[in-house]
Amino acid sequence: MQCYGKKLIQHFVQILNGPHCTSFYTSYGAWLEHHSRSLGFFIDEKFVLPADRRSRSLNDGKGGVVCSVACAEEADISQCAASSVSGFKAWSGLSCERRAKVLLKLVSLLGQHTQCVSELCELCDASASPSALVRLLQYYSGWAQLRDTLITGWTPLGVVEVVTSDDCSLYSLMLKVLPALAMGNSVIVVPGWSCGPPALLLAHLFTGAGLPAGALNVLTGCDMTLGAKVAQNPNVSYVTYSGNKQDGVTLCESTAGMGVPVSVSPYIGATCPFIIFESADIDSAVEEVIEAAFKKRKEVNWVLCVQESVYDSVVARLRLRMSGLKCVALLRESDSSLVEAAVQEAQQQGATLVQSSAAPPSRTHYPPTVLCGAAPSSPCVVSPSPGPLLPLMTFRSNSEAVTLGNHSPHGQAASIWTEDLTLALETAKSLSVGSVWVNSHSVFDPCLPVSGHKDSGTCTDGGQEGLYQYLRPSSSTPSLPRSSPASLDYSAFGTETPAPIIPVDLDSAPQSLLQLVGGKTCKSVSGCSMAVRPQEGTATLGYCPYGGRKDVRNAVEAAIKVQPGWMKKTPSVRAQSLYSLAKALEAKMRVVAGSNCIQTSISVEEANAEVDLSVARLNLWAAYCDKVQGGSLPMPKSGSALSFPEALGVVGVILPDKHPLLSMATLLGAAIATGNAVILVPSEKYPLPVLSFIQVLQASDLPAGLVNVITGSRDQLAAAFANHSVIKAVWYWGSAEGCQYLQKTCTRPLKTLKLSCQTEEDWTQSDPALLEELWRNAVQWKSVWIPTA
């Protein structure tokens, strides 16, 4: 009877797992031994280990060799890319229901190998609990099922490359891999060193669920250059990265000019505020900040901000709670000198220490340390060193708390502690971060959109919002042609002065045209101008200012004065302003259509039709204002989760040559409808229609400085946008060299880019997916988690 029962169970497991079932591994050691502790690449549903490949050893915390991992070369990249193309055809050809079933089957496979996956992740220091991975699979299997139902008009990109740094967790890797698969893409994983073996294990297990060969491939390398080498393959459609900022910047710079979009989520090492108000439960707040700040492996650096009225109480509880804490192991022995230097410098600047014990003679450990009274400009706050250090700053009012919280260049997350819900929500709205946790910290779930603000990322992961980076509108084509990077002198880009640029006194010159800065028309700071000529002929229609870096500076100063107030206006108020702008354009139709007709040599009928389309487009964006505003999220925990879109800030828009008026109305409407301020650069070839639109802007009720117009050289102004730290996003229509320059330089700080080299783009299309794509390019998402008892 027992024998019969055993056979029945085995038969049931075979039915459950299907014909592609992988072997069952009770531990990571059994899996490693099965591969002789030498791991190759996972390509086309099998392991590949060429005999002549270099390898790199992975050691555990005690210095013992866990396994060796092969380093990919060009031949491996080509083989992998070809396999991924075939895998994409097979995977995207399945119905949504079939793809969902495959992902759901992975849940049972992962359950069978829980111990193996958990032990290998712990050994490789690639943190990810099996329960968290199961939750990811369950969530994205649902989206795989509903893609064509809830996300209409969109199609998968093709082959997606997912790159991670050496210090990235397996959870963060899978937060990018699974949504890409759920939307029907094939994926090439280029994992960091710690994620390599777990990623290979999961790819091996996934074959047992019926995932087509080539739908998920894994390539490992000796360093971070492999990510750029894979991106160079013309079959790769999109690259997304997760990990530390330095490696993300290197990837962006290395792929500049290849014609492949790259997004980054540099969450490792971000500085995040932990804010304790006087209305907080102090005991709980102190307990949680100690748990968050003094982990051996910290993904973010916390800065403690305490209201002055409860400062003494918080410090007293910190001393009491920290008295029994053990020293924390440092990741590297060399970190000891960095930690000691940071402590000494903070003390010299007036900080006092709260330590669990004296620093041990061993340089491998350091006691948990709170730096009380640290200054906001202190290096331990601005650029924290590795190790168990927690800077503590004080604030008096709620507004000071927000100022301290926004002091960091990062915008990853924040933790707020207060029993006053109104205060918590007001503070959450005012902080420039992507995730806010109220009376909690480090709460992650795939339904929560994670969108790094400021210098903490250029894409959204998680939630429905995070799916769109792996999709494109069905009616669109790739905006960047695949190519090899051009030989470009980045220091000289945009410095050449195109002819004819002449010093003209625009106040006295006939047919003089002016740009718009801060609500007022003006000439350029340099005093130079350029001739405006029709499309056909050599006659001079007039002279417009030749703007430069100083004009951009003045426009940004005007924009940042009004943008926060514009963003805080209710969506209905912004909608009314856009309706008034459309009405003002309709009233000026004769003037604007005439300038378009003269400049571009189109017929009067065509010019009037373009004005009509522009009016309709502005009305459409007005209607958009109060329609897509996020909402409550279905978290599997007790509490409430909210998500809502926020403006990026100041957006620089360099307009295309085709349909100069309609393209301007389309892009301008998307940007200001979502709460951004805009600096427009008209087509260098056809600036007249946009310059005539200045009259429309002045006749509308938009705040002065919200929309600025600067004329001049496209490349020179693109360079000025790239090098201005306040401009958060650049939308550029121009040359391949200009796109390459922006990809290379818009990394310090990170800017959101929308780039296009297309010269024949059809702006008359009113495809809802195309307009939604523009809207999503104009916002960043914020999630707020509020737990209940």
pLDDT digits (tens, 9 = 90+) for 235-257: 999 999 999 999 999 999 999 99
Check whether the bond before 485 is cis (ω within 30° of 0): no
Displacement of CA 156 from its chain's centroid (Å): 19
pTM for this predicted structure: 0.93
Is position 16 within any domain? no
Predicted pLDDT of residue 534? 87
Of the listed ranges 225-234, 515-524, 573-582, 626-635, the least confidently predicted one is 626-635
Q: Which residue has the tokens 């230097």?
A: 341
Contact at 8 Å (CB) between 418 and 295?
A: no
Of 247, 265, 283, the last residue of a domain is 265
Nearest to 278 by CA among 391, 392, 427, 419: 419
Is position 505 within any domain? no
- Would the pLDDT of 510 be above 60? no
26-54 mean pLDDT: 88
Give the residues across from 271 on adjacent strands.
Answer: 301
734-741 mean pLDDT: 95
Let me know the angle formed at the C-alpha of 685 by 525 and 534, rounded to the nearest 5 degrees.
Answer: 110
At residue 151, what are phi and psi to the nearest 5 degrees? -125, 80
- Would the pLDDT of 76 be above 90? yes
Same domain, 554 and 668: yes
Contact at 8 Å (CB) between 525 and 548?
A: yes
How many C-beta atoms surround the C-beta of residue 529 within 10 A?
Answer: 27
pLDDT band at 16 (very low <50, low <70, confident <90, very high): very low
Cα gap 28→33, rounded to integer Å = 9
Nearest to 168 by CA among 139, 190, 200: 190
Task: Compute CA distances 661 → 248, 475, 582, 599, 610, whole Å.
Answer: 37, 22, 13, 11, 7
Q: How many domains does the chain have?
A: 3
Q: What is the pLDDT of residues 570-605, one digit of tens each?
A: 999 999 999 999 999 999 999 999 999 999 999 999
Cα gap 251→246, rounded to integer Å = 9
pLDDT band at 9 (very low <50, low <70, confident <90, very high): very low
Contact at 8 Å (CB) between 248 and 266?
A: yes
Same domain, 437 and 570: no
Same domain, 560 and 690: yes
Is position 31 within any domain? yes
pLDDT band at 223 (very low <50, low <70, confident <90, very high): confident
Q: What is the pLDDT of residues 418-443, one digit of tens each?
A: 999 999 999 999 999 999 999 999 99
Is position 489 within any domain? no
Q: What is the pLDDT of residues 643-678, one digit of tens each?
A: 999 999 999 999 999 999 999 999 999 999 999 999
Is position 9 within any domain? no
Same domain, 228 and 316: no
Cα gap 467→484, rounded to integer Å = 29
Same domain, 148 and 282: no
For residue 702, give the CATH number of its domain: 3.40.605.10
Cα gap 4→1, rounded to integer Å = 5
Of 231, 250, 265, the last residue of a domain is 265
Same domain, 653 and 542: yes
Tell me what the pLDDT averaged over the chain comes to: 90
Same domain, 249 and 283: no
Q: Which residue has the tokens 């002055």?
A: 308
How many C-beta atoms surround the C-beta of residue 334 within 10 A?
Answer: 10
Q: Which helix (H) or strand (E) holds 178?
A: helix 170-182
Q: In terms of residue numbers, what domain contains 666?
A: 515-627+647-781
Cα gap 61→66, rounded to integer Å = 10
Contact at 8 Å (CB) between 273 and 431?
A: yes
Of 236, 265, 294, the last residue of a domain is 265
Same domain, 337 and 250: no
Highest mean pLDDT among 34-38, 215-219, 635-639, 785-789: 215-219
Predicted pLDDT of residue 230? 97
Q: Which residue has the tokens 């100063």?
A: 557
Cα gap 453→755, rounded to integer Å = 20
Is position 1 within any domain? no
- Would the pLDDT of 488 be above 60? yes
Same domain, 241 and 282: no
Same domain, 221 and 280: no
Predicted pLDDT of residue 143? 97
Percent of the chain exceeding pLDDT 90 equals 72
The pair of structure tokens assigned to 627 is 């329609």
Predicted pLDDT of residue 13? 37
At residue 685, what are phi and psi to the nearest 5 degrees? -85, -35
The pair of structure tokens assigned to 383 is 């650029």
Contact at 8 Å (CB) between 784 and 413?
A: no
DSSP for 677-693, written as a single string: EEEEE--SS--HHHHHH
Same domain, 208 and 308: no
pLDDT band at 8 (very low <50, low <70, confident <90, very high): very low
Cα gap 217→190, rounded to integer Å = 9
Same domain, 419 and 535: no
Is position 275 within any domain? yes
- Would the pLDDT of 470 be above 80? yes
Predicted pLDDT of residue 498? 59
Cα gap 303→374, rounded to integer Å = 10
Predicted pLDDT of residue 508? 47
For residue 425, give the CATH number of its domain: 3.40.309.10
Cα gap 339→356, rounded to integer Å = 15
Nearest to 504 by CA among 708, 711, 698, 684: 711
Is position 224 within any domain? yes
pLDDT band at 12 (very low <50, low <70, confident <90, very high): very low
Q: What is the pLDDT of residues 264-281, one digit of tens each?
A: 999 898 999 999 999 999
